[in-house]
Structure 1
């Protein structure tokens, strides 16, 4: 439970902020080496390819090398690391959003080799996307070698991605802004510090090692960039064109992915081989500069080509990029996007020059790069900075801002999602665009989850007394506290060593200086410490004062409740119920009826009502007894007395045995009785639940009480809620009573009460809804409780309504007449209050039982608002049965009691 000796010595130095400098430097250094190796590998393979094309038939050489290189790259990606397919930026975004996608050295190595093979063999993609994924994978691997908190791990991954971009473009500020604007969307000091240091180290080291990315230094160009007021309309036009064509390019990429994977249905190696072959054939018929991608890009951005070449470059590059990316090749889209933007910008600049005789196409080419990149990636700030860093020309800043911002707003109107968001969605990963959409539990602190009532032991306690404390408790460890200050922690494994260490008091056995957290630490930090040191609990301290304790179970409950939206407050929540006793009978019924036995005084009548229904519908009966415990105890570890509960259940078993009805029983220990009932319904495949209700509740905001309301709202099966009238008992001559009177359920008390009320006169208010029909179907079984049953169907029309047809009453009377051997009458009435009309009729008829179903929306709303239960169940001396049909069998508007 404590830090290792070496780590205890350097413990103050192990905090994330103090190790960020070293980690950022390592990430930047390794990312720079990876970028240089990638760049050199692509250059060597690409130069060899161009040289061979000059020696033999270009169409054969270029298509053959493209096919072979594509096949090898596809085989490597498919067999070793499928997550390296494509750009890599969507995968990094998903990992930072806590989507479980692998990111480690294996991913970095496969991305490196796969990109060399794919890009060097002629596929028209860029190396900047792979460098971002490689940098992120290096950061992720570093976080495994030097374990840290989950939040810090995300910072390292993002910093690695920024370092990869910075090293590739020689643009450290762009790497930082890309992390802030696109990946993490976080501007905290910790994020900025780590990302800035890693990006600058990566950029500097890559440049020192001889790597020059897409570096466009305008000092080598005879004419510097310029900007005049007359150019503004043309820069606006350029931004408009980029804003429209950018989303079209995104849709083309998605269409290519769809065609490759859902129409061609080839494996990845063959898809990439086909793309490489077609790319070689297309490039072989284009002008010679198109065979060398690096040379072509340089000529485009420096204005060395004419506008006809630019037009060909725009169309051909767009098609070849879609073809290559759709195959799943491990290449990026940054460079192709910049080439497309430069071609578009050059053509606009050339148009201005032809019309007005002013303007510099080279300047427009550079602005077009930023505008098109902004339209596709939706990162206008990064677009401006990345082009400025590549050119180091301040004259470009204003044109870049105009073009990039206009392109961003136009593209956002056309399509609000960036290309990388679309790629994630295409793969079935939906990410929220707002940081506020982060799971609510992720913002919880230790103080929100910890148990504040903590059992502790003193350091001077003897070992024998400590053993007694462990034997009386379900805890496996105790904090050791002296004078309110935490001095150690003692576990069962420590006590097992008492004899070997000749210890007599806890001070000799306890672990001093245990790992602790403060109340302000996040849940992520708590989980990290629990996993890092293989702990099951963590004391929470303010200074040295113990203020609480957190266990793994506490965190699991809080996270589960927050994710499902079932909890409004943090802290220890409900755990699954635990079955401590059960009996089983033969499974011969056609369904199961659940009877929760909470009140022993009404258990007799509730069971006999369940028996009547079970006999009619050929059901088995499942009797449940719930023992509720404190939320600070675990149901699986809490000792409970089940004697009285078992006696009650054994009476139910005897009743079922004498009446030849299978009766199963179980006792569950639970934090929440409603949860235990719902779990039983699901586990035992219950068809109907029959619950007793006392007719009132003291819980604010509840209709029937917290347990009843939860079951009614969530149980998928039929629900029957029974409120027994005062002094109710079965008639001595009823069929069920005749068989059950000799059993302990009856007895002299029940027989004496039998004269107070019978179950003879039944009243069923109806209005045509599914729940009323459900109640009608239960009535033939319930009638077995009566000795001389009489049934009245009652339909009430409010005074605001015109008289309705009585066809429904006629149909229901016919149904009951076929299934009952007793008088059935039907009555209609018109009254402004449905509840009062039903209550008045029940009093006049001296009704014994009212059966209510939520028969239409108006009646349902009244039931759920509590009007009908108050007016009938709470004020009527008779028994009231409320029926709600199975949720799965009816529309939501009909759900209710």
Structure 2
């Protein structure tokens, strides 16, 4: 695009990095100010129209109606376009700065801007400062994508944008900088301070020029009315204590409100925000006229024009209205409500001191001084940023008389609130959403935080000590690995690398020389708890590229230099393999149970009604052969922004599909259990089912290919095939025929035919073999699966390279003996080798020339599956043939 070329030219002109940072900070400050002014103007215009309309028409009708309508629009926009904009926005920015992958871009900025105008202008008692921070941070994030440098540079620009947003919203540049270093980034480096100061300064100046003061304070009037006496100190201490108590209560109320909306009012976000707008409108309609404008209410409190009753009503009503509004998920902030609550609380304390001391002729500070000190104290108790709380009020008033009252009240409230409810409200909001921000890492970063267990490859292809030299050479030829661990009775005894093979070239060893004679015995290893720094040291110390990870002598994984580099790259790109999002467990919303009469359990996840029946018939064939019960699960996905246990879902279609499965199982006389699980992640829900129901075998559909980068079979299947401890059978259904499909009752007389509709054919079976546990499992499954066909024929085959003149038939002969030993097998079985340059090529050619209906892929040695993970042979076969492809993986012994 043409604008990208312009950006590249700009970037070239703005080198070096410091010059680019200055330009970016200036640009961030400018756009943040424009966004702040636009949000302020939009909220002001809509709010003025709302107040004016409530004066012309009955307020009891106008205010709830406007809150309902505009609240619904704001909620709909957030839910449909950018769910990340729900709430204040500051927790999301803090999470992004902690390298948690949450969207923060131009889309987020626009939705937050429009949603904030609609929600706040409709009368919901929240502030625009939090949204301004998120909008500005999102714009800075988008700018960092247009001028890419490094992930760390991007973080600092986002922090500068957040500071500029706060500075523009309150016209407080110093407070913007302090908020960045005290709450968001906690970084006092020169670069962070420089960009934050410049962006905040420009944001505040431009905002002041374009939009005026955020709270419309009369500075001269304020300065002339504030005072401070020594006898006021105990009352400022009381103010701090009360602000700390109420601030801690306010924070707990916010969490309780969110929990109530989610658990008790299980509506969508538009309905929740609309309800909050409606309730807020009713409450405001019952209050005095001044309460219809939040900005006007704050002005009354800090100019000393309010009575004690107005201040008391302001505190309690604003407290309730804020909880009602924020819990709904409305895009609004807590800064302004905290300041209003603090002003009301301080005003009440000031009037209390006046009524106590004035009758005794003792001079007292004016309530306005307490109101302003209360703003800083309550803000500090809520956000736990005392420096920012002090400075933000001082900058808004520029009144030095307030410095000591602000310090006394803010520090006291901070200590009290932290004692009662430790931690920032923003951290609690993130934790409530399942996001935990860890403390700053030590100097070593992930090299000292991550361990070998976090990064290692758990699926390891190993070789046996008795393996002959020629097979070892073939293993290296087929693999991209440059070394293999050597095991004996599941214990690590050595390692063999390409260097070992090169070193024996001149020894003229026979092809049948066992691997145990050429391997490197007693290799260097690491334990699962070794940090990456330790691993990297050993790799460098011994000049090797991989290290086995052992628990005692048991091999549990392997770690390479590439794994460490990948972990570092993921960390820098905010894509850590160990996410900080705590996964919430799946939740069962529907379940049926049958009598538990089987010897084991077979799990069938069903999703597609068109393939569910055939998968269930295959499962029934296996279950009948093994005397298993069938567990049928339907998984329903919900948004990661909602809890699976608290989200309403419609299960009618899923229950209909499961009832069809129950009908089929009853016909086959096989125990079948069903369940519907609600989850954030399909693979996680399936793994939980496997563990909870003690599944022995899982049979699931497979597309045969995936377009997901870095995946072999697809997101869900990859996870299942790597982590499920039970046996795994993947089925890619192939071409269809008009041959009637028979039920899995083995005797022909007991097989009632289905209607003569389009069905899959299961008559001609091809089983490539190369030995190994997964091949044996495939053989064990065949007697059950071939009952799906009518007079089935089975061919066992082994692929040999054209250079091999006399193929070894041992594996095929063993497979025939194993099959013919099954008394229930009534199929024709032949075993013939085939020559081809690769396994995939040989199998595809056989299928196309001889018309096989089903290909069952077992494994070669550690498995054809391992070759699949390296070369993806099953995907090549599945894409190259129209037949059904079944991929088998044996159980993993933990």
> TM-score scaled by structure 2?
0.53
Deviations 1:474-501 (A, max 9, x none): xxxxxxxxxxxxxxxxxxxxxxxxxxxx
Pick from 422, 435, 445: which aligns with 2:440?
Answer: 435
Alignment of 1:27-106 (within 5 A): 27-106=28-107
**CA contact under 8 A between 1:129 and 1:334: conserved in structure 2?**
yes
Deviations 1:697-720 (A, max 9, x none): xxxxxxxxx98974447769xxxx
Deviations 1:281-340 (A, max 9, x none): 000001110111121111122221111111011000010001100000000000000000
Alignment of 1:551-566 (within 5 A): 563-565=450-452
Q: How many Å separate the matches in 2 of 1:57 and 1:98?
A: 50
**CA contact under 8 A between 1:168 and 1:213: conserved in structure 2?**
yes
**CA contact under 8 A between 2:381 and 2:413: conserved in structure 1?**
yes
Q: CA deviation at 1:596?
A: 4.9
Q: CA deviation at 1:385?
A: 0.5
**CA contact under 8 A between 1:217 and 1:392: conserved in structure 2?**
no
**CA contact under 8 A between 1:579 and 1:669: conserved in structure 2?**
no
Deviations 1:581-614 (A, max 9, x none): x8xxxxxxxxxxxx655999xxxxxxxxxxxxxx
Say yes or no: does 1:628 pair with 2:493: no
**CA contact under 8 A between 1:677 and 1:711: conserved in structure 2?**
no
Say yes or no: does 1:189 pair with 2:190: yes
Greater CA drift, 209-218 or 11-20: 11-20
Deviations 1:193-250 (A, max 9, x none): 1001000100111111133202434413484211111000000000011111111100
**For residue 400 of structure 1, what is the aligned residue in structure 2?**
406
Unaligned runs of 5+ in 2: 359-363, 470-487, 530-546, 558-891
Alignment of 1:611-650 (within 5 A): 627-629=495-497, 647-648=512-513
Q: How has the CA–CA distance of structure 1 residues 169 and 676 changed in structure 2, closer, same or farther, with 3 Å as cutoff?
A: closer
Say yes or no: does 1:347 pair with 2:348: yes
- SS of corresponding position for 1:628: strand
Alignment of 1:182-581 (within 5 A): 182-221=183-222, 223-357=224-358, 358-432=364-438, 434-436=439-441, 440-442=444-446, 563-565=450-452, 579=461
**For residue 524 of structure 1, what is the aligned residue in structure 2?**
none
**CA contact under 8 A between 1:670 and 1:676: conserved in structure 2?**
no
Q: How many Å separate the matches in 2 of 1:258 and 1:199?
A: 35
Q: CA deviation at 1:413?
A: 1.0
**CA contact under 8 A between 2:550 and 2:556: conserved in structure 1?**
no
**CA contact under 8 A between 2:247 and 2:417: conserved in structure 1?**
yes
**CA contact under 8 A between 1:24 and 1:198: conserved in structure 2?**
yes
Greater CA drift, 196-205 or 408-417: 408-417
Q: CA deviation at 1:114?
A: 0.2
Q: CA deviation at 1:125?
A: 0.2
> TM-score scaled by structure 1?
0.53
Q: CA deviation at 1:431?
A: 1.1
Q: How many Å separate the matches in 2 of 1:431 and 1:388?
A: 31
Q: CA deviation at 1:436?
A: 3.9
Measured on the aligned residues, the alpha-carbon RMSD in Å equals 4.1
Q: How many Å separate the matches in 2 of 1:651 and 1:155?
A: 55
**CA contact under 8 A between 2:240 and 2:411: conserved in structure 1?**
yes
Q: CA deviation at 1:579?
A: 4.7
**For residue 121 of structure 1, what is the aligned residue in structure 2?**
122
**CA contact under 8 A between 2:173 and 2:200: conserved in structure 1?**
yes
Q: How many Å separate the matches in 1 of 2:249 and 2:79?
A: 29
**For residue 154 of structure 1, what is the aligned residue in structure 2?**
155
Q: How many Å separate the matches in 2 of 1:418 and 1:6?
A: 39
**CA contact under 8 A between 1:24 and 1:195: conserved in structure 2?**
yes
Deviations 1:716-748 (A, max 9, x none): 9xxxxxxxxxxxxxxxxxxxxxxxxxxxxxxxx
Q: How many Å separate the matches in 2 of 1:328 and 1:421?
A: 17
**CA contact under 8 A between 2:276 and 2:324: conserved in structure 1?**
yes
Q: How has the CA–CA distance of structure 1 residues 649 and 16 changed in structure 2, closer, same or farther, with 3 Å as cutoff?
A: same
Q: How has the CA–CA distance of structure 1 residues 181 and 650 changed in structure 2, closer, same or farther, with 3 Å as cutoff?
A: closer
Q: How has the CA–CA distance of structure 1 residues 713 and 135 changed in structure 2, closer, same or farther, with 3 Å as cutoff?
A: same
Q: For the pair shown, which has the larger CA radius of gyration, 1 or 2? A: 1
Q: How many Å separate the matches in 2 of 1:384 and 1:109?
A: 31
Unaligned runs of 5+ in 1: 443-558, 568-572, 583-594, 601-619, 653-666, 679-705, 717-886, 890-897
**CA contact under 8 A between 2:451 and 2:528: conserved in structure 1?**
no
**For residue 468 of structure 1, what is the aligned residue in structure 2?**
none
Number of aligned residue pairs: 518
Q: How many Å separate the matches in 2 of 1:366 and 1:287?
A: 23
Q: How has the CA–CA distance of structure 1 residues 715 and 340 changed in structure 2, closer, same or farther, with 3 Å as cutoff?
A: same
**CA contact under 8 A between 1:87 and 1:332: conserved in structure 2?**
yes
Q: How many Å separate the matches in 2 of 1:280 and 1:174?
A: 33
Q: How many Å separate the matches in 1 of 2:342 and 2:384?
A: 14
Q: How many Å separate the matches in 2 of 1:708 and 1:88?
A: 42
Q: How many Å separate the matches in 1 of 2:239 and 2:510?
A: 81
Q: How has the CA–CA distance of structure 1 residues 125 and 713 changed in structure 2, closer, same or farther, with 3 Å as cutoff?
A: same
**CA contact under 8 A between 1:344 and 1:368: conserved in structure 2?**
yes
Q: How many Å separate the matches in 2 of 1:30 and 1:47?
A: 25
**CA contact under 8 A between 1:625 and 1:668: conserved in structure 2?**
no
Alignment of 1:852-867 (within 5 A): none
Deviations 1:383-416 (A, max 9, x none): 1110000001011101111111111111111122
Q: How many Å separate the matches in 1 of 2:287 and 2:87?
A: 26
**CA contact under 8 A between 1:215 and 1:390: conserved in structure 2?**
no
**CA contact under 8 A between 1:597 and 1:624: conserved in structure 2?**
no
